[in-house]
Structures are given as structure tokens and as C-alpha cells.
A and B are shown apart, each in its own frame.
Chain A
Amino acid sequence: MFQPFHYLAPHSLAEACTFLREHAGQAVPMAGGTDLLVRMHDRQLKPVYVVDIKKIPGLNGISPRDDSGLTIGACTPLNAIARHQLIREHYTLLAQAAHSVGSYQIRNRATIGGNLCNASPAADTAAPLLALNAIALIAGPDSRREVLLQDFFNGPGQPVLAPGELLTAVKLPPLPPGSASAYCKLMRTKAVDLSQVGVAVVFAGQGLRIALGAVAPTPIRATEAETLAAGRPLAEIDIQAVARAAANSASPIGDIRASREYRLEMIEVLTTRALTELFTQLSLNPAARREE
């Protein structure tokens, strides 16, 4: 049981955003509630109003766009993302990341919007979305804007949202045929844990895009590693060197899940794993390549 609060479930975006702006500091938006309600249970948060945004039309669902990309509504549960055929085929790493969150019960409720708006550096869907060059669609009481997901996080727990603004959807740009992607996550247990290190890799026709989770104040792109891989055919990329370079972009802390040193070591291991999986998907055998 929580401390008493008022529950509202507005049916329009304008209504929700206006209420949240007018009651900034007292009202919190709720999607799946799997993070919010835990914090309220632990008395870390004591909102006066809980604004359930799941009844707002258009926020839940996955829809193909004309440019053959996808739009994912902010209130779409992670299980729906993990099992969606188009996501599994074309945005494999996002399906893998969504599937890696919590338990089946949690993924039935937890949403992609909640995963992003909590702005945890370890949010599993964040690194994949960074590597996909995804765009966040944001609505306010009287405005709409789009932000590259890369610019969505100001710091731990701090999305770029102003009071009264809500993330409404995430736009995935199309990937050309022959693309591939992978997400590798390290946990203390085999399942149902937050990530110690998460590595997302995308090959989209040219160059590699690499993003890291849980190793900096926000999810980040590993730009040094990307530069190292740029401008060469994939088959000529030195996986080990790229993996080593990925660690240079990170600035991890040590916490209950892993020490700083362990995280730095593991970025290299996980990047190697993710790239190996990527090469396997593209039928490039890394082992055979090395013998050449």
C-alpha cells in the first residue's frame, strides 16, 4: 500500500500535459508503473497526483511508417516489442534488449517510454535506440518537438523533458537491406537483473554504430570505436581494436553491480561478443577472417 494520492487517467494528451505542468512537483506520469510504484513503495517518491497516461489514444502500439521505418508508442509494453515480428527481423537488437529487461510479468507492464524517461544509464532499450539513430517524439501542453535520442538524456534520472512534457513515441529510421544488429548485456545473474554493461552494435550499410549502457552518466555512443571502423569494408575491421577503443569512450562508476575496473574490462569483452554476433548474422565468420 502507498501513501494516499489521487489517481487520474486522462483521455487526451493535451489534458495530461496541462495537468502535469499545472501540478509540476506534485504530479507524476505513470505508464507501466514498474519503476514508479517501486519508488513510491519505498517512500522515495510521495506524489499528490499519479497521472496514468495509458488511456491516451495513440500512445500504445507499433506502426510501420511510409519511409519503412517504425514508430513505437511510449506506452508500448516491452513484451510487445520483444515479440514483434518486424522488430525481431529488422531491429533485432531492440527486441533483444526489450527481452532482457526484468521478468515476463514486469515486461507485460513496463513500457519503452518508462524505460527511457527514468533516464537510467543502464536502461536496456536506450543504447540500442542510440545506435539506431532513433528520434524521441515529445509533446507538451501546447507544443511538439523531436529530439535525437542521443540528446534525450541530461544525466542520471534526467531526461530533457520540461514540466508538462511527455515522451509520446520513438521513431526508428529505416535500415537498408543487409543491415544487422546485436545487443549484448552483462548481468550478475543469467536473467532478471539490471545491466552491468550493455553494448549495442548496428551495421547499416556502411560503418558501424556502437552504443554503450551503464558505463557513463548517460547511455553513450562509442565514437572513437566508430571512427576506427569507419571507411573500411566490414570484413577488414579489427574487432579487437574496435572493442578496445569502445572502452575509451566510457567513464563508468563502481557500484553494487560492478566495480569501475570490471566495467571497463567488460566493455571490451561485450563489444567483441556483440560484433561477433553481428558478423555471424551477416555470415562473415570472424574466426575464418583472422586466419587469412
Chain B
Amino acid sequence: MPEKIRFSVNGEQVELAVEHHHRLIDVLRDDLFLTGAKEGCGGGECGACTVLMDNEPVNACLVLAVEAEGREITTIEGLAKEGRLDPLQETFIKHAALQCGFCTPGMIMSAKALLLRNPHPTETEVKEAISGNLCRCTGYKSIVEAVLDAAQKES
């Protein structure tokens, strides 16, 4: 039996009925058609499903949809404002910090959360912040450069 919940997604209030056994990733992708967050491992290892919950990154495969009640969820789709890309999106393009792109939404959301809590991270802090996001094309070097570049730009 579905339960009605209200929460905010990318600044917009939504109200919908969710099944208790559905996860946040299921509702985002299948009910709200926000397919940016990917399901990789489904077990909190790969970080491809990373979204922000009240500005803190979580694995959307390990959050029940009902737990989103009253929270603010931000996905990769919510980063660009009025057609303008987020500085992180700009620098990921500039540094070609992606190959297949599967990890990119989660990677950028982890980086976004890092810059929100620490606008001027060191290289080590960047590496640590994305340690829960796996890239199997192994473009880590350019990813770290892109995040550091975005931090520079925002200052």
C-alpha cells in the first residue's frame, strides 16, 4: 500500500504516493523520470546514485523513498540554473573529466557537497570526498583537476 509523501526535488515541491519498499533511486528515476542518478551496485559501494539530501550526499540506493518526506533532494538535474551550467559541470567538460559518463552525475554531486561545506579544498580533501564514487574508466586525475578548478572559479 503506497504512502503519500511530500518533499522537494531540485527546488520544486512534489507530492506522490510511494511504495514502502521502493528506494529513493527508484522514485527519482521511475516516478519522477530524473534519470541522471544511476544505479550501479545497489549496495552503497559505487556512488553512481549519489544525490544530496539537505545538501549532504547520500547513496540513493540506500535510502527508502518514504525517508525523503520533508527533505530537500538535489540531483544532477538541479545544478544548472536558468540554462547556465554549474561551475563543476563547466570544469568537468573543460578537463574532459569523463569517458563513459556513468559515474559523472554521482561524482559531481559528491564534489558539489564538498564545495558547499568546504569551498577551498586541498587535493587530498577532494580525493577523500570522492572516495565513495568509483570511476572504472579511471579518469580520476582529470576529475580531481576539474573539482579543484571549480573551487578556484567560485572564489
The chain A residues found within 8 Å of chain B, CB to CB, are 1-7, 9, 33-34, 37-38, 41-42, 50, 52, 102-106, 108-109, 191-192
**Min CB distance, A26 to chain B, in Å?**
14
What distance in Å separates the Cβ of B29 from its nearest Cβ neighbour in chain A? 11
Q: Which of B41-49, B73-81, B83-91 contacts A (4 or more CB under 8 A)?
A: B41-49
Question: Which chain B residue lies CB-closest to A36?
Answer: B62
Find out whether the CB atom of B59 lies under 8 angstroms from the CB atom of A1.
no
* B131 sits at the interface (CB 8 A): yes
CA distance A63 to B43 in the complex (A): 32
Chain A residues in 8 Å Cβ range of B59: 105-106, 109
Other than the known A52-B64, A52-B67, A105-B110, what 15 A-B pairs have Cβ atoms closer than 8 Å?
A: A1-B26, A2-B21, A3-B21, A4-B19, A6-B20, A34-B62, A37-B44, A37-B61, A103-B47, A104-B57, A104-B129, A105-B44, A105-B47, A106-B59, A191-B131
Q: Is B23 an interface residue (CB 8 A)?
A: yes
Q: List the B side residues contacting A191 at CB < 8 Å.
A: 128, 131
Contact among B42, B50, B53 with A41 in the assembled complex (CB-CB below 8 Å): B42
Q: Does B56 contact A (CB under 8 A)?
A: yes
Q: Which residue from chain B places its CB closest to the CB of A4 in the assembled complex?
A: B21
- Chain A residue at minimal CB-CB distance from B57: A105
A109: chain B residues within 8 A (beta carbon): 58-59, 62-63
B40 CB within 8 Å of chain A: no
Main secondary structure of the interface of B (DSSP, over half): mixed
Given that A105-B58, A109-B58 are known contacts, is A5 also in contact with B128, CB under 8 Å in the complex?
no
Against A, the Cβ 8 Å flags (1 = close, 0 = not) of B17-29 are 0011111001000
User: How far does the Cβ of A4 sit from chain B's closest Cβ, in whole Å?
Assistant: 5
Q: How far is the CA of A108 from the CA of B58 in the complex (A)?
A: 7
B22 cross-chain contacts in A, Cβ below 8 A: 1
24 chain-A/chain-B pairs, Cβ below 8 angstroms: A1-B23, A1-B26, A2-B21, A4-B21, A7-B64, A9-B66, A33-B62, A33-B64, A37-B23, A38-B44, A50-B20, A103-B47, A103-B131, A103-B133, A104-B57, A104-B110, A104-B128, A104-B129, A104-B131, A105-B47, A108-B58, A109-B58, A191-B128, A192-B131
